[in-house]
């Protein structure tokens, strides 16, 4: 297996950053590749993205640059596997999201805010490394200045092949949820000329499968006129693709609007880069259309267009499956890290009568789950004790839907509510509770 990140020792990045002053302060979350860097600020605030080079960052101990063949936020990330190394970011806001990496070679970190209680975060996951992924979100802070500290423990769980901790970026008080959909999502529709990319450990979600099914990889084509369509609800969407010497040019539209060319050529290969972003959309239903143009950069050797994954971004707050607001009754398997789940894990059950009850305050709620052949269970959904519907979650291979909105209710009264999921199937199929979104 190719390790996803470089483990070689080079130099102390902390000393380098201190000597050169870093790379500027917090900046608005990027709206796509090639955007200019906004003016630096001393303390990043709500809605800003802080890259690892920001002057808001302080590193101690040994940190090195991460593998450049990955499509990190802002182009680069840093990593360490040295016990005691720390990375801190100072910001102003009520929440912060750490973007890093999960995978088989990832270790265990400690996270704390303002010197308060420490939370242990295990970055191990069975799929290939996921980059620029949400590692953990800290919410419910007082509205003011805070410092988030990440400490490398040098430890790993018994299944991990390494103990690396990656710091890629931070989103300050994002006010949004992010669902990372694979190219196998049931909503994605391909024209006939797309093929499944060859299996390797670099594509999003790859490296694991239920035999005889093949691992999730990516879809690609070099034929002009081939299309991909994806309906989604959200205010922004990222296309995760590929950059390389054989990359071609795709055309991307939202809701049939003006098409934008996306050049996937790059002098060196990069996996899982964000190659296109549409932001500032209405919180409504939209459709992304990707078309292979058959054109290429003069330096490219091919017209290859790759669709690897999507980030669907929606206003609201996400409550992960481990949140204290969720009460599980019956036999649930916790800490399932077998796929690319929201912030790394899920709860699953295939026992009829088991329940998961989420208490929240808001006017809209979504259950984030999974739809695939091995997660084909059925469940009844209740809100405040009233049955809303019964859902069967199955899908036939090669469809595999992760971090999906499997149920959404809008128009609730603005007050406290309870959403309950009750497993009803009797065929041993699994029901997945990944997270809940409150809008």
* pLDDT tens-place string over residues 141-169: 999 999 999 999 999 999 999 999 999 99
CA distance 75 to 273: 9
Range(s) of the chain covered by CATH 2.60.120.260: 13-174, 180-314, 317-438
How are beta strands 365-371 and 401-409 bridged, if at all?
antiparallel
Residue range 180-314 in CATH 2.60.120.260: yes
Residue 138: other Cβ atoms inside 10 A: 16
Peptide bond into 398 cis (omega under 30): yes
Residues of the chain with pLDDT under 50: 1-40
Quick one: CA torsion of 298, 299, 304, 306, rounded to 10 degrees? Answer: -110
State the burial class of residue 164 (Cβ atoms within 10 Å of its Cβ: 0-12, 13-18, 19+).
buried
Q: Top-level CATH class of 317-438?
A: mainly beta
H helices, E strands: number in the chain: 1, 37
Query: Residue 42 has what pLDDT?
Result: 83
Query: Residue 199 has what pLDDT?
Result: 85
Q: Top-level CATH class of 13-174?
A: mainly beta
* Contact (CB, 8 A) for 14 and 59: yes
Which alpha helices (H) appear in 78-131, and where do they start and end? none
* Contact (CB, 8 A) for 316 and 110: no
Give the H or E element holding residue 290.
strand 284-295
The residues with which 93 forms a beta bridge, in sequence order, are 144
* Contact (CB, 8 A) for 436 and 419: yes
Angle at 61 between CA 123 and CA 271, to 5 degrees: 45
Q: What pTM does this model have?
A: 0.90
Average pLDDT over the chain, rounded to an integer: 91
Q: Which residues contact 17 (CB under 8 A, 6 or more apart)?
A: 53, 57, 59
Sign of the alpha-carbon torsion through 101, 102, 105, 109: positive
Query: Residue 382 has what pLDDT?
Result: 98
Phi-psi region of 250 (alpha: psi -120 to 50; beta: other; left: phi over 0): beta
Residue 358: other Cβ atoms inside 10 A: 22
Which alpha helices (H) appear in 205-357, and where do they start and end? none
Query: Residue 143 has what pLDDT?
Result: 97
Length of the chain: 439
Closest Cα to residue 401, out of 187, 215, 233? Answer: 187
* Contact (CB, 8 A) for 369 and 335: no
Residue 253: other Cβ atoms inside 10 A: 17
Query: Residue 16 has what pLDDT?
Result: 34
């Amino acid at each position: 297996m190719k390790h996803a990140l470089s483990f070689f020792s080079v130099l102390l990045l902390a000393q380098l950053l201190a000597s050169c002053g870093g790379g500027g302060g917090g900046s608005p979350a990027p709206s796509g590749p090639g955007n200019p860097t906004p003016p630096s600020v001393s303390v990043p605030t709500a809605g800003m993205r802080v890259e690892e080079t920001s002057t808001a960052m302080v590193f101690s101990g040994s940190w090195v640059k991460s593998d450049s063949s990955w499509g990190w936020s802002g182009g680069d990330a840093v990593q360490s596997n040295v016990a005691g190394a720390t990375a801190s970011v100072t910001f102003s806001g009520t929440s912060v999201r750490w973007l890093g990496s999960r995978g088989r070679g990832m270790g265990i970190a400690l996270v704390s805010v303002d010197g308060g209680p420490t939370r242990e975060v295990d970055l191990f996951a069975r799929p290939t490394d996921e980059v620029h992924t949400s590692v953990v979100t800290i919410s419910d802070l007082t509205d003011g200045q805070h410092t988030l500290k990440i400490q490398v423990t040098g430890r790993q769980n018994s299944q991990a092949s390494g103990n690396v901790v990656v710091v890629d970026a931070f989103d300050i008080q994002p006010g949004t949820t992010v669902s990372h959909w694979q190219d196998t999502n049931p909503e994605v529709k391909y024209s006939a000329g797309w093929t499944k990319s060859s299996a390797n450990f670099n594509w999003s979600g790859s490296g694991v499968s239920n035999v005889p099914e093949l691992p999730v990889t990516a879809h690609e084509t070099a034929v002009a006129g081939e299309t991909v369509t994806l309906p989604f609800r959200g205010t922004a969407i990222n296309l995760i693709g590929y950059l390389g010497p054989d990359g071609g040019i795709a055309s991307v539209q939202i809701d049939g609007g003006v098409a934008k060319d996306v050049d996937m050529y790059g002098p060196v290969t990069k996996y899982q880069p964000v190659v296109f972003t549409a932001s500032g959309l209405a919180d409504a239903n939209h459709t992304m259309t990707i078309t292979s143009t058959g054109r290429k950069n003069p330096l490219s050797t091919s017209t290859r267009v790759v669709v690897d994954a999507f980030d669907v971004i929606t206003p609201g707050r996400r409550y992960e499956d481990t949140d204290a607001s969720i009460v599980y009754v019956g036999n649930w398997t916790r800490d399932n890290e077998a796929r690319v789940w929201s912030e790394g894990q899920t709860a699953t059950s295939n026992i009829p009568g088991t329940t998961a009850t989420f208490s929240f305050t808001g006017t809209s709620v979504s259950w984030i789950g999974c739809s695939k052949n091995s997660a084909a269970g059925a469940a009844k959904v209740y809100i405040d004790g009233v049955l809303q519907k019964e859902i069967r979650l199955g899908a036939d291979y090669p469809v595999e839907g992760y971090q999906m909105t499997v149920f959404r209710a809008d128009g609730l009264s603005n007050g406290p509510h309870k959403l309950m999921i009750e497993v009803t199937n009797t065929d041993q199929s699994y029901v997945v509770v990944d997270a809940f979104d409150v809008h």
